[in-house]
Structure formats: structure tokens, C-alpha cells
Structure 1
Amino acid sequence: MAGANDGALPQQVNIGFIAAIVAVATIGGFMFGYDSGVINGTQKGLEAAFDLGKLGIGVNVGAILVGSAIGAFGAGRLADRIGRRSVMMLAAALFLVSALLAGAASASAIFIVARIIGGLGVGAASVISPVYISEVTPAAIRGRLSSVQQVMIITGLTGAFVANFALARYAGGSTAQFWLGYPAWRWMFWLQAIPAAVYLVALLVIPESPRYLVAQGRIDEARAVLTRLFGAAEADRKVADISRSLAADHHRPKLSDLVDKTTGKIRPIVWTGIGLAVFQQFVGINVVFYYGATLWEAVGFSEDYALQTNILSGVLSIGACIATILLVDKIGRKPLLLIGSAGMAVTLAIVAWAFSTAVVGDGGAVSLPGNNGVIALIAANLYVISFNISWGPIMWVMLGEMFPNQIRGSGLAVSGFAQWIANAAISVSFPALVVSPGLAVTYTGYAIFAAISFFFVRAMVNETRGRELEDMEG
């Protein structure tokens, strides 16, 4: 098979340059994580400032997901037109605007608009950063370098948790006044402007994806980038391989490419991408990310301790992602997905059982009897570890590399859109589900989806470890 990889790196590969490119591209992952996680810990401030009920909180928290779905769908298509780097720069600008506007919002409607703008950036970064990384890295180490994206997502989430905790602790609470007389929760959003600005400036110094350049007929520019990445000899081979992969059916990429012209049906690889994207959300992970503080307060934790628990989950997530980096190019993508599905199904079932024992005391205070609170906390963190050693990074690795060159942008657009719609369905519904039918039933539902995902992976997912992007089929 042309371009097949035997697990060895090209002799002249420029690891330092590739590492620098990946470091810049994954700042988008950091912003994705920070912008998604910052809402966790600001909800008391939003309730007080905008006089919100449960439904209002759900809408304000979920607003980012509307933008994210649109951003993911639009970015995949736009990247085929203006380039991967240009779309990432647009995302960085959206992050900056969102951070400033969300912190300054004087009404719920303005805040919702700000979060939708941020969501456009999150959606764009979520799909374009992984595909950009996959297109500038050698097949032998593509999995581990693509997995860095998830490390940065979790680092961004953890960074938001740490910043929220520090601001709330220093100010005396998330609604207490802080610097310049503004409450701490507003500064939680304004802090995002710093990494957003860094991301925008750093993107100016990295090259465009060579596969995009070849698709646009800019062969000399593509060869120059590939020479810097892999050396002259490997650059010539890759230009030939990319051109070959596009030559059989080369035209401007469009959504109709996702339909097999022979059968008239949507390509199976597209259904696999959509399934991976949807199951990653239906296991309920973003309930922990978006509502972690509220969740633990609901079972009797103080605000301060709940925010500390968020930080613990973030640190464990980073450790799990680092384990993925060490394993993904050795044992493959599919085995990690299967391990994660099994682990999540078991731990979610334990969390559901623990919450089923909750009791309501005087004044409506909720608590878990005996050691059940500790059991719930341990099981929840084992669930987070199971997710982040598998579905967290691997879903993005797979979406970035599994599609053939001609349909990569369109495949990402549809899969990314499905991922964020599923995210919205889970996240917006959670506050109401806590009330009825309750946490135990809700977590049982997530456990069932985790179990189903195991069989989906066995039936639908093909291993991509060590394969060149030009050799992907579907």
C-alpha cells in the first residue's frame, strides 16, 4: 500500500518544529476546555445577576453548545475553503470577543449572545485542531501527538476550575466583589482573554496544512512545508501520495461527497464518525465538566469543597490523557475505546447506586449515608479516568485521521455537528433531570449508553494505528 507506515519515523523528521506546531495548535484545545469549563462555578453569580431559575440556568449554560454545533459544522467546510490555520485564527478571535463580552454582560440575553460567540470558537477549535495536527505529523506518532489535544482540553478545564476556585476563595465567594468592584464570577470570564490573545498571536508563526495546500494546487508551498517537517526526500514522496489520493476524484470538497456514488447511501465511515461523536457525549461526561460544582453541592458538599473536587477531577483527567499518549500508538485506538466503554459502564452504575441512597434531612439538605459519599466520589473519578484514557482523546484522534482526504472536511463537519448536538441534549437536560427522575436514574441512563458504546466500537470501528492519511478508506 502506497505510503504505508512501518512504525518508523522518517529519517529527517524535524521533531522540534513539529512539537512547536502541535503546541500552538493545541492552545485551541486549551481554549476549548477553558471556555467550556469556566461556566462551572459561575452559576450562583448568573442566578443572582440575571434572576434565573433552573430553566434559565440550563439555557445560559447551554448557549455555548448552540454556537459550538454551528461552529463545528461551519469550520469543517470553511477549512476546505480558506485553510486550517485561517479557521483556527478566526476561532481565536471569537474566544477573545466572547471572554470580554460574557464578563461584561448586563442581561441574560447579552450573556447568551456572548456564549454563543464563544461556542462558535469552541466548535471550530474542536474539529480543526485535531485534523490540522493529524495532517502535519508522522503516522508513527500521530496518535500520541493528536492526543495532546485532549490533554490541553482538560488542562483548560482544570485551569478554569483552579481560576474559579482561587477567585471565589480570595473574594469570599463567586458572587462577592473582587477587583474594581466587579463580582468574582465576572473575572472568571475575563481571564479567558489572556490565553485567547496568546493563541491568536501564536497562530501567525505556524504554517498552513500541506494537505490543504496540495488540494488547492499550491504544490510548491506544500512541498516547502513538508520539507521543513520531514526533509526533502520525504516531502517529495508525500506530495506524490497526497496528489494520488486526490487525483481519482478531485474536485472542490462538498457535503455530497459523504454519499457513496455507487450505492447512493451515506458512506459507512460517516456513520462511524457520527456514532463516535454521539456516544462520547451520551455517556454524560460534560455533566461533570459543566455542572460538577452544582452536582456535588446537590449531595451535601460545600461550594468550596465542590470546587476543590472539580480540580481533583481535572488533575486525574490530565494523568489519564498522558497514559493515552503513551499507549495509543502502541496498542491502538480500538482497544482503548473498548477498555474505556467497559470502565465507564461499571463506574457509572456504581455512581447511580450511590445517588439512589441519598436522603433529605432538615431544611432540605441532601446527603449520602455512611460511606456512600466517598464511594460516589471515588467512582465518579474512576469514571473520569476511564473516559480520559479512551473516549476523551481517542474520539478526536479518530475524527482527525479516519476520513479519506477528499471527505475529511465534510466528515468532520457532520461528525462535529452531531457531537455538539448530543452535548447540548445532555447538558441542557441535566438540571431538569436532577429534579425528576433524579440523579440515580439519570446516571443509570448514562451507564446504559456506555455499555452500548462497547458493542458499537466492536462492530463499527476499524483500527487506524500507523496508517498514512492517504491510505484511509471509506
Structure 2
Amino acid sequence: MNQSVNLNYIAFLSVVAAIGGFLFGYDTAVISGTIIQVSTQFSLDTVSQGWYVGCALVGSIIGVLCGGYLGDRLGRRKALFIAAILFAVSALYCAFAPNFQQLIYARVIGGIGIGVVSIISPMYISELSVPQYRGRLVSLYQLAVTIGFLGAYLVNYVLLNFSLEGGANLQEGWLRWIFHEEVWRGMLGISGIPAIFFFIVLFFIPESPRWLVLRGELSQAETVLTRVYRSKSVAELEVAKIKDVRSSAGQQQNWKLLKEPGVRKAVWIGAAIAILGQFMGVNAVLYYGPTIFESSGLSGGDSLFYQVIVGLVNVLTTILAVFVIDKVGRKRLVYLGVSAMIFFLLLISIYFIWGKEIGLPSAFMLVCFLAYVFSCAISISAVIWVLLSEMYPNNIRGVAMSVAGLSLWVGTYLVGQLTPWLLVNLTPGGTFLLFAVMCVPYMLIVWKLVPETTGKSLEEIERHWIH
């Protein structure tokens, strides 16, 4: 079976779907470089600043609620087309928004696109992959997200420098307006280029074969799987397996199948690890890194420089995770990575509580900070979308991932809102201690309730929950 797999073709399809992850990462991270400029231009108070940052998260929640339905109703490929259009419209709208209210609308549209791709892209990759490569291929999505983060940091840095040094040489017109006078428009709007590219390349990928089987379009599913396996007989066998599991699950669709005890358990477990993962400090580190660095005594450096370092470590570690996730296994990666996260979170907490008394240098905190990012990127960040994309039955995969995605984005929103309060009221030391404590229930749930899915087909995983 391994020799018959057309890995180049599967990798191409996975990379195309993962472009949605890049847009997700860019659209999420680019906001950090525009807050001061937008706040100054539109005279925003602290509440309006929070709404400017958080409105895209509200859009993301809307997107995950719609994404699963769109994926199940229209197909994974058409849902990705919709997301690409949303990203392109949002980018153009942000670049030319005439006022703050219109800018908010534009960001919400982009947030809906984020929510849709966060569900559909990993689902599509998972459904087209073969068991022995599925982990690393779905991890390409998370890698694309981290590249999007890093890309946003670099674009913010480059465009800001250009606006200060060379932008004044641009002739009067919209280019000077976007890339010099109000450069935040360029930062937000430039994502329209990869969004349009994403829309174009989607024409070159097929629909998910498992969705086609679900809709009764067996001949089209066989055609896709024949290209995947380079064998019509193997493709027919795979279609038969998918049909067999579908029959054993009954013809129930969506919410009705959620009443099944095993399926309901899978959905609750997925939602639990999705929301708990956000309270282990992941997004607090990515969103509020500069503030935390300033608290540690590293304020003399450029905050954008430290953001780039964090983004670079995130990308390089995710690349490593892509190569080891199918060899080490999902659960073992979680055990190793989360254990290391607890260790470094405790060290960071100790630094903030007793660092000055015992003479710890600021570089100690920076090293622990980057080690935490490494531990997180190689474990929960790489594993979460792989697990969510493969642990649900085919009949309800879209709806179930919407439930888990909703939990994840609600957690992200809460962490984004609560972190500033925690840093002030619990102090940075207490905040990182809380993050360390929150790692424990996550580890217990994965240990006791999540099955090891490495090397298993989606149909084998489905049988685990149904029977």
C-alpha cells in the first residue's frame, strides 16, 4: 500500500488547503502592528481599541458556526472558495475603509474567513490523506498558520520602515496613501494577494472523496482516490470501506448522530481539549509577548524584533513537528511537550516572583520563554488540528469540528480579554503559574480519554467511537 500512494499529489492538495492556514495566521497576527496607528488616527479609547482587536475573533466564532454546515452541505472545496472570497474582500475593504466603523466590518468579514478555514482546511487534508502520512500532512496546516504569523510580523516591520524611509517618494495617489500616509492600510490590505492566489489554485484540487461518498457520488470518489493510490482496485476498496462504516453508523446526519453515546463523548472530548489548550498560555504569549517582555526588563529592545524571534521559533519547531508527529505519535508528543511546557512556565513564574531577589538575568526569562514556545509548537499546537480533523465520524465531521472550533475560539477570545487583567491582578508570576496549572487537566484528558490515532484510518477511528 505504501508504494502505491501518490504522495506528491496528496502533498500538493495538502499545501493548497494549507494556504488557508497562512491567511488565518497572517490575518490574526497583522493586527499587532496596526493598533497604535489606528488608535491615533481614529482617536480610539481603550474600549474601542479592544473592540478593534477582538472584532475579528467575533467573526471567527461566526465562521466556525457556519463552517461545519457549509462543509457538510456544499462540500469542503466550495467552503474553501467562500473563505478565499471572504479574505480577499476583507483585505480590500480594510485597505480602503473610509472610517473606523467600516474598518470593523472589514475585520469581521476576515474573521469569518478565519473561522471557516480553521474548520475546513485541516478537515479536507485529513480526508484526502492516507494513515501513514496523515499526521504530517495535516500538520502542514499548523505550519502554514505559524508562517502566516511570521509573515505578518515581517510585513509590519518592512512596511513601517518603508513608510518612514522611502514612502515619501511615492507620487500622490492611493499608493502613497496606503503605503506611506496611512501604512496600516497596506499592512491589512496586502493579504489580498495570497487570498486571490488561494482562490485561483482551489480550481486545481478535487472535492474530498469522503464527502463525495457521503453524498452518494461514488464514481467521483473513486476517481479522486485512484489518483491518490495510483490504483483503481485500491480506490474501489477504500470507497467500500467508507461505505461500510457509514452503513454501520446508520444514515443519521449531523445533530441526530450526536445523540449516540460514543459520538457525543468524542465531541465533548474534542471541545474540552480545544478550549483547555487556550488556557495554557499559548495565545497570551503570541498576543501579549511585547508586554510580557517589557515586564521582564527587556524593554530596551525593539518589540517587533522579539515578535519575529518568537515567530521564527514557532515556524522552525512546527517544521520539526511535521516530520516527527507520525513517528512519535500524537499522545506521546503531548506528554513530552506539555511536561516541558509546565517546567518552563514554572521557571518563568519563578523569574517574575523571585528573579530580582536571587539575581536572575533577563536573558534567563527570554530563554525560558522561547523554550516554552518550542514545547508548545511541537506538541499541542501541532497535534490539536490533527486530532480534531481525524477523531470524528464522517457523517458529522463538519458539525463536530464546528463544536470543537467554537470552543477553541471562545477560549481564544476569553484569553485575549482576560490576559491583561491577569497580568495586572495576578502579576506576571501568578499568571504563568496559572497557565502551568491548566496544563494538568489537559494532560489527564489526553491520557485517559483520547485514543491514539497514529497510523489508523479514519474509518478505524470512527469504529472506536461508534462501537
1:65 aligned onto 2:57? yes
Matches within 5 A, 1:302-321: 305-321=302-318
How far is the alpha carbon of 1:250 from its aligned partner? 4.1
1:442 aligned onto 2:443? no
Matches within 5 A, 1:13-28: 13-28=5-20
Q: What is the CA–CA distance in structure 2 between the aligned matches of 1:440 and 1:59, rounded to whole Å?
A: 27
RMSD across aligned positions (CA)? 2.4
1:180 is aligned to: 176
2:338 is aligned to: 341
**Structure 1 residue corresponding to 2:449, chosen from 454, 460, 474:** 460
Distance 1:155-1:330 versus aligned 2 partners, 3 A rule: same
Which range moves more in the overlay, 199-208 or 430-439? 430-439
1:281-307 deviations in Å (ceiling 9; x for gaps) = 111211232233344345555597211
Distance 1:242-1:226 versus aligned 2 partners, 3 A rule: same
Matches within 5 A, 1:274-285: 274-285=271-282
Give the unaligned 5+ runs of structure 2.
none
Distance 1:70-1:252 versus aligned 2 partners, 3 A rule: farther
Paired amino acid for 1:346: F
> SS where residue 423 of structure 1 aligns?
helix
Distance 1:161-1:447 versus aligned 2 partners, 3 A rule: same
Q: What is the CA–CA distance in structure 1 between the aligned matches of 2:133 and 2:203, rounded to whole Å?
A: 25
> SS where residue 5 of structure 2 aligns?
coil
> SS where residue 248 of structure 1 aligns?
helix
Contact between 2:263 and 2:393, CA under 8 Å: does it hold in 1? Answer: no
Distance 1:187-1:80 versus aligned 2 partners, 3 A rule: same
Distance 1:53-1:279 versus aligned 2 partners, 3 A rule: same
Paired amino acid for 1:313: V
1:333-363 deviations in Å (ceiling 9; x for gaps) = 001111121111121222233334699xxxx
How far is the alpha carbon of 1:465 from its aligned partner? 0.6
TM-score, normalised relative to structure 1: 0.90
Matches within 5 A, 1:45-444: 45-172=37-164, 179-181=175-177, 182-230=181-229, 231-251=231-251, 253-260=253-260, 267-297=264-294, 299=296, 301=298, 305-356=302-353, 371-444=360-433
How far is the alpha carbon of 1:102 from its aligned partner? 2.4
Identity %: 36
Q: What is the CA–CA distance in structure 2 between the aligned matches of 1:44 and 1:299, rounded to whole Å?
A: 22
How far is the alpha carbon of 1:389 from its aligned partner? 0.2
Distance 1:177-1:254 versus aligned 2 partners, 3 A rule: farther
How far is the alpha carbon of 1:38 from its aligned partner? 0.6
Paired amino acid for 2:308: I
Q: What is the CA–CA distance in structure 1 between the aligned matches of 2:295 and 2:168, rounded to whole Å?
A: 21
Paired amino acid for 1:159: G
Q: What is the CA–CA distance in structure 2 between the aligned matches of 1:44 and 1:356, rounded to whole Å?
A: 30
Distance 1:454-1:133 versus aligned 2 partners, 3 A rule: same
Contact between 2:6 and 2:227, CA under 8 Å: does it hold in 1? Answer: yes
Contact between 1:177 and 1:183, CA under 8 Å: does it hold in 2? Answer: no
How far is the alpha carbon of 1:256 from its aligned partner? 3.0
How far is the alpha carbon of 1:390 from its aligned partner? 0.6
Q: What is the CA–CA distance in structure 2 between the aligned matches of 1:354 and 1:176, rounded to whole Å?
A: 45
Alignment coverage as a number of residue pairs:
454
Contact between 1:144 and 1:325, CA under 8 Å: does it hold in 2? Answer: yes
Paired amino acid for 2:437: I
Distance 1:106-1:283 versus aligned 2 partners, 3 A rule: farther
How far is the alpha carbon of 1:96 from its aligned partner? 0.9
Q: What is the CA–CA distance in structure 2 between the aligned matches of 1:434 and 1:190, rounded to whole Å?
A: 32
> Is the helix fraction higher in 1 or 2?
2
Give the unaligned 5+ runs of structure 1.
1-7, 360-367
Q: What is the CA–CA distance in structure 2 between the aligned matches of 1:204 and 1:69, rounded to whole Å?
A: 27
Contact between 1:150 and 1:393, CA under 8 Å: does it hold in 2? Answer: yes
Contact between 1:29 and 1:152, CA under 8 Å: does it hold in 2? Answer: yes
1:376-412 deviations in Å (ceiling 9; x for gaps) = 2111111111111011010000001111212212210
Q: What is the CA–CA distance in structure 1 between the aligned matches of 2:410 and 2:81, rounded to whole Å?
A: 24
TM-score, normalised relative to structure 2: 0.91
> SS where residue 139 of structure 1 aligns?
coil
